Every structure is written in structure tokens, then in C-alpha cells.
């Protein structure tokens, strides 16, 4: 923790709750204080004290091209020169919506919003409007943004801070949210069969309890039981969309959900997100139907330009092969280092997202993730940070590699990992 970061944190805490504009940024669970970032370029970022880090947070998912990709910057500047917001339809939004629906063919129609939270909240409202039912089912440790009804047993910062849910959520709201364990198909079948379930919302690869993939057959089972009961299956692909494959986890695993939420990557580092799905469901959205949802900055020209350019670059040949190879080199490298030094470690990875859980057991759900030794994680995190490797400051967050992470960045990371694992 450099001097300038420390000074800024002290000032920040006087005027911003906890000194941060999103809770996990505060480094609370790992001890210590957050770095203040001055700039980023490619796979690196620099703090205000001038120290360079290899970045595996990537702004928590959006930066699949790395920081400051020149073509994305140019697209943003060009869009800005024509005006930053109109609150009226633009050609760019149409082209972008067409691109999203081509990329995620389970979406016949898509509505643009400004954050993942808005996308999931709006998708649930649409599912309830469409089915006329009240209940929603979510996964224990699943995170879908901070809408009231989704803050029950949530992952990400809620898990990191170890709070059971959130104050300020009414009992009435919480009672319509049912929670089951990830990868437990029998439990899911039971709650859906009890009836009145408007929607099941899942991250098709969990990322907010750390990265925990679906077991073989689990997503197929979800699809089958929801279809049989007329329950809307929502894939929250805010993290996985265009990360684990072109078209997201649904393309990778070959499952067709009823609705999809996108965010992070589709905004190219600016605030854009989206929700979409089957034509009959999307026909419920105002002004076509009775489910209201709106946004002053929805479809913002700068955010759409950044998202469009990012997706255009991702469509070039070899991008996902490169992400897979980089992810594999890092993931397998970390596992090998842990094995060599006898550190209990369960490494998970799907494409360009990964987690290392400090536990002997396998991790297939949130209960398994929680068996990790978070004190050991904190020591790992601090050691890596000291050596210039910037990991997410929590055991319960996924790490991300980008197209900008080359062999040198990975080598540097594995060298640091050897030095740190030796001491754990
Ligand atoms: C990040 C995330 C969200 C919330 O998106 P925001 O843009 O932070 O509101 C929702 N769902 C998943 C799966 C996420 O990873």
C-alpha cells in the first residue's frame, strides 16, 4: 500500500461509504486497503504510487481485450464527437441489437440497459409479467446484482463480507425468492414442481462464489424441469456472456434458455448491459406490452460503440482459442505450483475465467467454496499483490484473463506464485 493510495483512501472514507463505490473494492475480507488506480494499458495497471501490476480483475469482467484497446478508444471518441446522449433511437442501437441477437440466438429480441443489475431485475419482472406467477428461484451464492429480491443468499460482495442477505429488503420481498444449492438438480426439481415459480435464474457458470462450473447434465436438467412446468429459465450471462465462448455459456454447453442477461463485456468497459429472450416474453415489455422498464441513458451511444467494437474484435479468428490457451496455461500452472509446495488447492476454470480455492475438497457449490481457508487466501492475495499481481481481493470472486495477457504476463504470474505458495 503506497503513500498516495493511503492518503486518497483516508479522504475517500470521509465522503464515500467505506471509501469505495462498490463494496468488494474495499479489500475488507483480505485485510489491508485498496489501491487507487491511475491508469491501465493492455494486461497491466498502475496505481497512483506508480507501481505496475498484472491485472486479473479486468474491471470485474468487462475488459476481455485488456485496458485501453486502441480500436475501442477510437470508437468511443468517434461516437462522442457526434454527441454523448440523445434519449432517442439511433442507428447504432439497431446494429448492436442485431449483433447481440445473432451472437445469442436464443434472444429473438433484446432491450439495452446500463448495468447488469438492471438487466436481471428487468428480466425477472418480464418473467413474472409473462407467467403471472410470483416466485423466483436462485442459487445459494449466486449473484445477480443488487435488486432487492436477488439479494437473498447472494454471492460476490455479499459472500465476501459474510452477510446473510441485506438489511432494507422486506420480508415480503424475500419470501418470494427461493434458494437452492448449485448443481443440486433434485432440489431444483422439488421447488419448481411445487408450483407458482415464474423464473429460475442462474449463472450458467457460477462466477460470484468464485468460478464453479456446472456438473455434466445439470444445465440440461434445469432446462427440462423448467420447460415442463412453464417456468422461465433465465441465464444470467452478465459475466459469462462472450467470455466463456462467443455467445456465452449457452453456446459452450448447448442449452437454450428462455431469457438471457448480458453486461460487462457487451459494454466494452462502459456502462451497457442487455436482457432478451423469446419473442412471446419480450412482447410483454412496454411499449408493446404491460411490463414497464425504461432508462434515460439506455443504449447510450458511447457505451454501444465500445460494446460493438469489442464484440467485433472478439469475432476475429482465433480469439477464443487464444483465451482458452492463456486460461489453461495460467490455471494449470497455478495448480502445479500448489501441488509442488503441498498447498491444498482446488483450481477451477472455464475458458478465460478461473478461481483457486484453498481447500482439500472439490468445490461444486457455495457450501464447498466456503470450506476454503480464507486466511490462507488473504496471505496468497497479499503476497501476489506485493509481487505485482493484482487478483480479486476475495476467495469468492472469479479471476479473468484477457487477450492482452501474453506469455510474459503469465510467466511473471507463475514466478510470483512460486515465491508465495512456498510461504503458505
Ligand atoms: C456483475 C454481475 C451482475 C451485476 O452487474 P452490475 O453491472 O454490477 O450491476 C449481475 N449478474 C452477474 C452474473 C454478474 O457477474
pLDDT digits (tens, 9 = 90+) for 65-79: 999 999 999 999 999
Q: 382 C-alpha vs ligand 1 centroid, how far in Å?
A: 26
pLDDT for position 162:
56
The range of the structural domain enclosing residue 127 comes to: 70-314
Count of domains forming the chain: 2
CATH number at residue 351: 3.90.1150.10
Most ligand 1 atoms within 8 A of CB, residue of 117, 201, 257, 300 to mutate: 117
pLDDT in tens, 95-139: 999 999 999 999 999 999 999 999 999 999 999 999 999 999 999
Relative to the CA of 237, which ligand 1 atom is closest?
13
Torsion of CA 202, 207, 209, 210, to 10 degrees: 160
pLDDT band at residue 160, thresholds of 50, 70 and 90?
Answer: low
Report CA dihedral (106, 112, 118, 119) to the nearest 10 degrees: 10
Q: Does 250 contact ligand 1 (Cβ within 6 A)?
A: no
- Residue whose CB lies within 8 A of the most ligand 1 atoms, among 120, 257, 274, for a mutation test: 120
Same domain, 291 and 202: yes
225 CB-near residues (< 8 Å, 6+ apart): 185, 188, 189, 192, 193, 231
What are the catalytic residues? 143, 236, 264
> How many whole angstroms separate alpha carbon 105 and alpha carbon 85?
29
The three-class DSSP label of residue 233 is: strand
Q: Which ligand 1 atom lies nearest to the CA of residue 117?
A: 9
Q: What span, in angstroms and rounded, lies between the C-alpha atoms of 303 and 271?
A: 6
Examine the domain organization and report whether 93 and 50 are in the same domain.
Answer: no
What is residue 151's predicted lDDT score, i.e. its pLDDT? 86
pLDDT in tens, 292-311: 999 999 999 999 999 999 99
C-alpha 184 to ligand 1 mean position (Å): 23
- How far is ligand 1, taken at its centre, from the CA of residue 99, in Å? 21
Domain finish residue from 314, 335, 370: 314
Closest CA to 266 of 94, 64, 82, 404: 64
Pick from 250, 263, 352, 400 the residue to mutate for probing ligand 1's pocket: most ligand atoms within 8 Å of its CB.
263
Half-sphere exposure of 203 (CA within 13 A, CB side): 34
Produce one character per residue of 254-278: b if its CB has 16 or more CB atoms within 10 Å, e if not. Answer: ebebbbbbbbbbbbbbbbbbbbbbb
Q: Please indicate, yes or no, whether residues 109 and 51 belong to a single structural domain of this protein.
A: no
Burial-class residue 171 by CB neighbours within 10 Å (0-12, 13-18, 19+).
Answer: exposed
Q: What is the CATH number of the domain that holds 104?
A: 3.40.640.10
Q: Mark which of 314, 330, 360 sits at the end of a domain.
A: 314
Instruction: Give nearest CA residue, ligand 1 atom 10.
Output: 144
Q: How far is the CA of 118 from the centre of ligand 1 (A)?
A: 9
63 Cβ neighbours under 8 A, 6+ residues apart: 40, 55, 269, 400, 402
Amino acid at each position: 500500500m503506497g503513500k498516495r493510495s493511503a492518503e486518497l483512501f483516508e479522504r475517500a472514507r470521509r465522503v464515500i461509504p467505506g471509501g469505495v463505490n462498490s463494496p468488494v473494492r474495499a479489500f475488507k475480507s483480505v485485510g489491508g486497503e485498496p489501491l487507487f488506480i491511475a491508469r491501465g494499458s493492455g494486461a497491466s495497471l498502475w496505481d497512483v504510487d506508480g507501481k505496475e501490476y498484472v491485472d486479473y480483475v479486468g474491471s470485474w469482467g468487462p475488459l476481455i481485450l485488456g485496458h485501453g484497446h486502441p480500436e475501442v478508444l477510437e470508437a468511443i471518441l468517434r461516437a462522442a464527437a457526434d454527441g454523448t446522449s440523445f434519449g432517442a433511437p439511433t442507428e447504432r442501437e439497431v446494429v448492436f441489437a442485431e449483433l447481440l441477437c445473432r451472437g445469442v440466438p436464443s434472444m429473438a429480441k433484446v432491450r439495452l440497459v446500463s448495468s447488469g443489475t438492471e438487466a436481471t431485475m428487468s428480466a425477472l419482472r418480464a418473467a413474472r409479467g409473462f407467467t403471472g406467477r410470483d416466485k423466483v428461484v436462485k442459487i445459494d451464492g449466486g449473484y445477480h446484482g443488487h435488486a432487492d429480491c436477488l439479494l437473498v443468499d447472494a454471492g460476490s460482495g455479499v459472500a465476501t463480507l459474510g452477510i446473510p442477505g441485506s438489511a432494507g429488503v422486506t420480508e415480503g420481498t424475500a419470501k418470494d425468492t427461493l434458494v437452492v444449492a448449485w448443481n443440486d438438480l433434485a432440489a431444483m426439481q422439488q421447488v419448481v414442481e411445487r408450483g407458482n415459480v415464474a423464473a429460475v435464474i442462474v449463472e450458467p457458470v457460477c462466477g460470484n462464489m468464485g468460478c464453479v462450473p456446472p456438473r455434466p447434465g445439470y444445465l440440461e436438467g434445469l432446462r427440462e424441469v423448467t420447460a415442463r412446468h412453464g417456468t422461465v429459465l433465465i441465464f444470467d450471462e452478465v459475466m459469462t456472456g462472450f467470455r466463456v465462448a462467443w455467445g456465452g455459456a449457452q453456446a459452450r454447453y448447448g442449452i437454450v434458455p428462455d431469457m438471457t442477461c448480458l453486461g460487462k463485456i457487451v459494454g466494452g468497459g462502459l456502462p451497457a448491459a442487455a436482457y432478451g429472450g423469446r419473442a412471446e416474453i419480450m412482447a410483454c415489455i412496454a411499449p408493446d406490452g404491460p411490463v414497464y422498464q425504461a432508462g434515460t441513458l439506455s443504449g447510450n451511444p458511447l457505451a454501444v460503440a465500445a460494446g460493438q467494437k469489442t464484440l467485433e474484435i472478439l469475432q476475429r479468428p482465433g480469439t477464443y482459442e487464444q483465451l482458452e490457451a492463456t486460461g489453461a496455461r495460467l490455471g494449470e500452472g497455478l495448480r502445479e505450483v500448489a501441488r509442488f509446495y503441498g498447498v491444498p488447492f482446488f483450481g477451477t476454470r472455464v475458458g478465460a475465467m478461473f478461481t483457486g480455492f484453498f481447500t482439500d475438497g472439490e468445490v461444486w457449490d457455495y457450501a464447498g467454496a466456503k470450506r476454503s481457508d480464507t486466511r490462507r487466501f488473504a496471505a496468497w492475495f497479499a503476497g501476489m499483490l506485493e509481487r505485482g499481481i493484482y487478483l480479486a481481493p476475495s476467495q469468492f470472486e472469479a479471476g479473468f484473463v484477457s487477450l492482452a495477457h501474453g506469455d510474459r504476463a503469465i510467466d511473471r504470474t507463475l514466478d510470483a506464485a512460486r515465491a508465495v505458495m512456498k510461504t503458505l
